[in-house]
A and B are shown apart, each in its own frame.
Chain A
Amino acid sequence: MSHLTEDDSTIERKYVKEKKIGEGTYAVVYQGKEAATGRKVAIKKIKLGQSQAGVNGIELSAIREVKSLQELQHPNIIELIDIFSHKTNLNLVLEYLDSDLEMIIKDKNIVFMSSDIKSWMLMTLRGLDHCHKNWILHRDMKPNNLLVGKDGQLKLADFGLARDFGDPMAKNMSTQVVTRWYRAPELLFGAKQYGYAVDMWSVGCIFAELMLRVPYLPGETDIEQLDLMFRALGTPTEEDWPGFNELTQMKFQKYPKTPLKALFTAAGNDTLDLLEKMLNYDPNKRLTTREALNHPYFRNKPRPTPPGKLPKQEKSNHLNEPVSPSSSSASPY
């Protein structure tokens, strides 16, 4: 219990807030630095839950974030450096990274080589693999939540929706998770119990987005999301996804399966094979992080670009970027 001896105000004095860099539904994010070392940090100030009747205690998402990040330490997961409280606010001190994958994808001055995409995919999957190994679901994988540091390292951030899984008693998990464009089909159909496969679907969408440079399945509503998905990947049949017919009473237009090659013209066969297995309709057949990391794609040439040599933005313009619709917070932290 090392923290017990350390007073909160001493921790608070260790960091200096510099400027506001973003605001989400439950937090304000400041850029700051550690006074002693000059190390840049992000300070996420969590607002107490507000309702008509006044304060409502600490947000569940804040608890989830603290709980998951305390458990996870990995080069591809954002580091929780410190926590302190100020009056009634909770402040999380996080590693500062000045860019994210969404900004990089949108920056049309940057050209992606296939080795760059491989490198980003590798880092994403390694971070996610570490979460899943520790029985934690991220539940909000999207380019906006994949932060990229000056050294090119990619780190998973925003664990406000993360939770433990694998508990057979955990019924009634919320389906309103994951930003719609990256939401797995079983969630759209209202599955109350689900697992690692929901995160893998999102990674598949991110993979596609890296190649296309635009979001792969940008649905405006949940129904449109399904329609886009079926148009792109074919309407699932009972054979693709055993039990599909029992999921819903809805009748969908039957779209044929078009080979991914038609859209991803420049991609190699190993790339398409990996993408197809990540976007498998049946959550039980969708790849696990381990299987994905062992896929020949990562062993075949070209070799993934070393993080330090990945293309990066000329200058960061954190605030002016429009952000994709978000399930939890607009801020990347």
Chain B
Amino acid sequence: MSKLSLQNAMLSYEQLALTPSRKDAIPEELEDELRRLGCHFIQSAGILLKLPQVAMATAQVLFQRFYYVASMMAFSIRDIGMGALFLAAKVQESPRKIRDLINVYHWLISKYQNTVYEPMEYFGTEFYAMKNALVIAEMQILKRLGFNVHVQLPYGLMVNYLKVLELTEHEKIPQLAWGYLNDSLRTNIYVCYQPPTIACAVIYLAARICGVKLPTQPPWWELFEAELEDIL
């Protein structure tokens, strides 16, 4: 226990390249697509459940981490997505009812499949099956991630960095950078880089898109513990 670090766990190149799903012969493109879809469900469900963005972000990071230790063959992205969101909501002190979460997922999936939405029966077998899967998924996430529910997020850091750079009043950059952070949750960067680097990267990108020059003498990112090579 004493060796537990509160920093986000970083993965090696081998771990990134040879995921458990890959070992089960799931093609890389399919895995990437399923990761994005799983995160999309988490984000949409979180919005419908009126959860704070930190809860969705935490859930997505847990979701991403999970599939570096377990295969999509064994665990469906629906179950793990629900489990991660349910767990993250508790971690971020905004718990949601299990039934609400299941209903939201049920609706999202039926919408995704373009079928006519029919609410589940209150005591129906379908509901119990989903609930069971969710509870198991939650435990599996905890277990396989070594009960480490700490996720460091770059949102707060980014806002502070923007303040230091005097960009908070800019009409586009803060919103753009925030959006990039949300989008980045669907990629693997949270298991590749620490939050300061991610925060710098989104600011760099946002400033570049808006054509705003940032100080290079000395380079601004050095102030925030990031390396140029990583940002790019």
Contact = CB atoms under 8 A, between A and B. Distances in A.
A88 B138 CA distance: 10
A3 B142 contact: no
Contacts of B150: 67, 70-71
Interface stretch (B2-10, B178-186, B212-220): B2-10
13 contacts: A3-B146, A4-B146, A55-B135, A58-B90, A58-B139, A60-B95, A66-B147, A70-B1, A70-B150, A71-B6, A80-B1, A88-B135, A169-B52
B147 A83 contact: yes
B139 A70 contact: no
Nearest to B143: A85
Contacts of A1: 9, 69, 145-146, 148
B98 interface: yes
Interface of B: 1-4, 6, 9, 52, 69, 86-87, 90-91, 93, 95, 98, 123, 128, 131-132, 134-136, 138-139, 142-150
Nearest to A89: B139
Contacts of A300: none
A169 B51 CA distance: 13
Nearest to B2: A73
Nearest to A63: B90
Interface in A37-60: 48, 53-58, 60
A240 interface: no
A3 B147 contact: yes
Given A70-B6, A73-B2, A164 B93 contact: yes
A224 interface: no
A54 B132 CA distance: 9
Interface of A: 1-4, 6, 8, 48, 53-58, 60, 63, 66-67, 70-71, 73, 79-83, 85, 88, 90, 163-164, 169-170
A85 B4 contact: no
A4 B140 CA distance: 12
B93 A85 contact: no
Contacts of A88: 135-136, 139
Given A4-B144, A55-B132, 12 more contacts: A1-B69, A6-B146, A55-B131, A57-B86, A57-B138, A58-B139, A58-B142, A63-B90, A70-B148, A83-B146, A85-B139, A90-B142
A57 B139 CA distance: 8
Contacts of B4: 70
B91 to A, nearest CB: 6
A322 B87 CA distance: 35
Contacts of B149: 63, 66-67
Nearest to A55: B135
Contact of A163 (B1, B93, B128, B148): B93
A262 B138 CA distance: 55
A71 B95 CA distance: 21
B128 A8 contact: no
B133 to A, nearest CB: 11
Contact of A85 (B52, B87, B98, B142): B142
